[in-house]
Chains A and B, each alone.
Chain A
Amino acid sequence: MAYVVERKPLTLPERLYLPQIIAGLRVTLKHLFAPNVTMEYPEQRPPIPTGYRGVPTLVKDPHGREKCVSCQLCEFVCPPKAIRITPGEIPADQPERAHVEKGPQAFDIDMLRCIYCGLCQEVCPEEAIFLQNQYSMSGYTRAEMVNDKAKLYELGGTLPDQHFKWDKKKAAAEHGNAH
């Protein structure tokens, strides 16, 4: 249905325009004394909402063991092919991890390729890779922008989840059931 907007003729103060300007000046004057709405960035940081997808990182479990088992699912799912994992054996000098099948020898995420889609986090069966709160990555060279394993663990830290999947598996294996 056609809707006709009523167009009232301008009133005298509106046609004189000066009262309108003065009303406008009052508004802008109010803004002059209003507090600033901008954030002075490097000193002030915005609050990060939960579920934010920042830089992907690797996390350890609360016992300090690395969770990644180098299954390479994240590498295969990564749309821009930013992740490169070199699978490796669990080193012999770490008997407390001997029951885990594999571990990454090297784990590189090229942050120049990463699109922060979060598929790696979604696909990870071990909950080892998380997109956390860091949002600003910068470097002077391309090589600097590739996060290696040490950097990823440094960024990731430890998440307080209490799954301990591999401990349970070990206990189960010791009790004689295969799974």
Chain B
Amino acid sequence: MTAVIELWSGLHPLLQAVIKGLAVIGVMFPFGGACSLIERKVSAWMQGRPGPNRALPFWVAWVPGIGFLQRLGVFHLMADGGKMFFKEDPVPGHVNKFYFYLAPVVAMIPALTTVTVVPFGAYLNEAGKLMPLVLANLDVGILAVFAVSSLGVYALILAGWASNSKYPFLGGIRASAQLISYELSMTLSVLPVFLAVNAPGGGGTLSLFNVVEFQSGTWQGFTLASAHGLWFGLTMPVAAIVFLVALFAETNRLPFDMAEGEADLVGGFHTEYGAMKWGLFFVAEYSHMLIGSGVFVLLFLGGWNPLPFVPLSTLAAWLNLADQPLILGLLSIAIFMGKVLFFIFLFMWVRWTVPRFRYDQVMKLGWQKLLPLAIANLLLYAILIAFLQKPVS
């Protein structure tokens, strides 16, 4: 064990970063595929169907109990992925080839780039200080997430434009209008959180890790200090709801999937795409969902803290894990991923509950409801925080 750690710390930092990055991508990419399977299963169960449950590779059919995995449709994941990789990739004659090929790449890059600044766990180092598990603990964390993830819309516009036919074009137009509208309320809804985190007089930070640290308080009686133990989702419910609704719109999920509304736009921006290029769009969409849910969990649901008033360090003390950084790190990742998976499920749950909005309703909701709500919320909390966090003089 120690030999592995020594070998690891002996590596060049650049090599370390590359390995860590590849590891995260190696988790993200199949996870995006797995989400499509979860999506199929959840939609099937909600519609009273068993869902995909037939695929079974013949070379594992002898394993006892494999039938359970078969019923869960686990092998459909391999079947789907294999199909996507090996099927013919048609390129229609009327498309603008360069941008047509570029669009799925542009979709994937922001999706995989944002992962770098999202912390997904934490451990206690020798000094007993909480350290984040993150590829790059940037000081501008949330800003980087917003800046890079909103580049994803260029993929949709590019795909819609390069396809050179009307349905993808309309899908691309809708996507850009919708994403720009909701970006605004999303950013505004996050501001109160950072107003609270950046106390006057202290050094300013936009790091997501600091937001989670801020929510890692314990119960200290009925004082203001106890508010640190509560998650922002409980102290700022309106901001959380606005962020969540904007998140649904940003990730193009129902009820906001204007860009690919199959009833009115055939397939929207990816009508002309097939095979792995289409698959890349889908993995990118699911990666966006994963990262969006991750950011929501970090901002409003206490990240890797198991419960309100019970931060990770308290849990480590209870379980005597303070000197076991590896186990504690894995535990924190598990807690974080559990919360994220709930949100992935919520995305699918809402998909089968709420019908798609009309385009004008989407615009009205974005500009006339969410944006004023986010601004009012920001003002309210700005005043509140100004009073509560006034430096004691």
Contacts and interface: CB of A to CB of B under 8 A. Distances in A.
Interface string B339-371: 000000000011011100000000000000000
Contacts of B349: 25, 28-29, 32
Given A18-B241, A38-B50, A40-B50, A32 B353 contact: no
A28 B353 contact: yes
B46 interface: yes
A21 B355 CA distance: 10
A34 interface: yes
Nearest to B45: A32
A138 interface: no
28 contacts: A18-B241, A21-B353, A21-B354, A24-B353, A24-B354, A25-B349, A25-B353, A27-B353, A28-B46, A28-B349, A28-B353, A29-B349, A31-B45, A31-B46, A31-B47, A31-B48, A32-B42, A32-B349, A34-B48, A36-B45, A36-B48, A36-B49, A36-B50, A37-B48, A37-B49, A38-B49, A38-B50, A40-B50
A25 B42 CA distance: 13
Interface in A35-60: 35-38, 40
Interface residues of A, number: 16
The 6 residue pairs across chains A and B that have the minimum distance between CB atoms: A37-B48, A24-B353, A28-B353, A38-B49, A32-B45, A31-B46
Contacts of A36: 45, 48-50
Between A25, A28, A36, A37, the greatest number of chain B beta carbons within 10 A of the residue's beta carbon is seen for A28
A36 B42 CA distance: 12
Contacts of A29: 349
B48 A28 contact: no
Contacts of B42: 32
B345 to A, nearest CB: 10
B250 to A, nearest CB: 18
A40 B50 CA distance: 8
- Identify the interface centre among B48, B241, B353: most chain A CB within 10 Å of its CB: B353
Nearest to B51: A36
A28 B352 contact: yes
Interface in B32-55: 42, 45-50
Contacts of A31: 45-48
Contacts of A34: 48
A32 B45 CA distance: 5
B46 A32 contact: yes
A29 B342 CA distance: 13
Contacts of A32: 42, 45-46, 349
Nearest to A26: B353
A21 B46 contact: no
B76 to A, nearest CB: 15
A28 B349 CA distance: 7
Given A25-B349, A25-B353, A27-B353, 6 more contacts: A18-B241, A28-B349, A32-B42, A36-B48, A36-B49, A36-B50
A29 B42 CA distance: 10
B54 to A, nearest CB: 9
Nearest to B369: A17
A135 B350 CA distance: 40
